[in-house]
Amino acid sequence: MRGLMRGRLGTAAGFALGAVLLLAVAPAVLPAFSLALLGKFLCFAIVAVGIGLAWGRGGMLTLGQGVFFGLGAYIMAMHMKLADASLFGGSGVPDFMSLYGSGEVPGWWEPFRSPAVTLLAVVLIPGLVALVLGLAVFKRRVKGAYFAILSQALAAAFAVFLIGQQATTGGSNGLSGFRSFFGFDLQDPNNKVMVYMIAAAVLLLSLALARQLMHSRLGELLVAVRDQEERVRFLGYDPATIKTVIYVVAAVLAGIAGALFVPLVGIISPADVGVIPSIAFLIGVAIGGRATLLGPVLGAVGIAAAQSGLSSTFPSFWLYFQGLLFVLVIGFMPGGLASLPSLVGRRRKTRAPAPVPAAPAPPAAPATSPAADEKATVPEEARR
């Protein structure tokens, strides 16, 4: 109990500190370019919060978050293209369509002229896709490995689809060259700061949401489903519903992150949404500690920062490094950095967490991380 109290207070204090840092300190001290870059990292962190819930807490290895990120991003990009065309071009037809396409706006673009529809779609469309896939897979009790493969195939198909539709989605070049964001001129540095602020606020909100979920009955059930799905089913709950709800939440978070990514970065292309970027989202989550609250966020920001720093200077080294990270972190430190305190042996020697035990595997004690979230998980067999 003492730990729980400390955890509560610590979480509240940490949350307040994070809010001050992100919303007040960062805009005050960082130059405009760095702030936009930080905003991009925060978008990845929002995706990571969702992955932390679905994968870290729920054991659903989702390899298709790029799809939801991409859906949100492309919906926002389409709206911004159309708005630009009306504001600056006068014709109402986005520039690239005149180059590659028929010069006519296809019918499925038209709804995104409306800002309200766009905002709704950013949330609803990724959510709906996740709902359909989630119900289809979890209700029929398709194996966890199959879910991972299907979500990956979804990411592959989505990227191929985007590349193939040169005339209507910009093909492999993607969509870029945005000038306005809901009527605000993106050239104006003040508006850039505003977009960053929105991203930071969304990240803080999604963290608060994730924490509430983790401490709710649903969150407890989610961890139970991860560790002993059959047992939860025998207790009268439907694991499929629990998993689907969380999967939808993760997808919606990714969609919103994608929508914020576009005005911050100024381009979205299939290279940001395919198989490899989708899996790359996971490594930050794993490094930080997949089952913790803050771990995924810190890991995602850290990895994104490292990537933007290293990949331009040493492109070859970065790819080796990324591969090695996957191998070393997942292979040898599955609890991520958050499990370091317990690995160092301050407490009773525990096994590394096995977030997804195979059916006959002995239940392993999941990692607890005093640093990030005291009440991480309840060990399966508390032999005290």
Partner 1 sequence: MELLIGQMFAGLSLGSVLLLAALGLSLTFGQMGVINMAHGEFMMAGAYTAFVVQKAISDAGVSLLVSIPAGFLVGGVLGLVLEAVLLRRMYHRPLDTLLVTFGAALILQQAARDIFGAPSVDVRAPAWLQGNLEVLGAPIPLTRLIILALSLLCLAGLILLLKATPLGRRIRAVVLNRDLAETSGVSTRRSDQLTFFIGSGLAGVAGVAVTLIGSTSPYLGTNYIVDAFLVVVAGGIGQIKGAVIAAFALGVLQSVFEYSTTASIGKVLILIVIVVFLQLRPQGIFSLKTRSLA
Q: Which residues bind partner 1 (CB under 8 A)?
A: 59, 61, 63, 133, 136-137, 140-146, 148-150, 152-154, 156-158, 160-165, 230, 275-276, 279, 282-283, 286, 316, 319-320, 322-327, 330-331, 334, 354-362, 364
Closer residue to partner 1 (CB): 135 or 197: 135
What are the distances in angstroms from CA 45 to CA 180, 297, 381? Answer: 25, 5, 33
Q: Which helix (H) or strand (E) holds 184?
A: strand 184-185
**How far is it, in rounded angstroms, from Cα 42 to Cα 26?**
12
| The pair of three-digit structure tokens given for residue 310, joined into one six-digit string | 């290293």
- Distance between start and end Cα atoms, the chain: 16
| The pair of three-digit structure tokens given for residue 380, joined into one six-digit string | 């399966």
**How far is it, in rounded angstroms, from Cα 305 to Cα 120?**
31
Closer residue to partner 1 (CB): 67 or 85: 67
Q: Shortest gap between Cβ of 377 and partner 1 (angstroms)?
A: 16
**Beta-ladder partners of 4:** none
Closer residue to partner 1 (CB): 4 or 132: 132
**How far is it, in rounded angstroms, from Cα 115 to Cα 281?**
29
Q: Shortest gap between Cβ of 203 and partner 1 (angstroms)?
A: 24
Q: Shortest gap between Cβ of 261 and partner 1 (angstroms)?
A: 23
Closer residue to partner 1 (CB): 80 or 354: 354
Residue tagged 């525990």 (tokens) = 350
Q: Shortest gap between Cβ of 233 and partner 1 (angstroms)?
A: 9
Closer residue to partner 1 (CB): 88 or 320: 320
Closer residue to partner 1 (CB): 11 or 339: 339
Q: Shortest gap between Cβ of 62 and partner 1 (angstroms)?
A: 11
**How far is it, in rounded angstroms, from Cα 286 to Cα 226?**
16
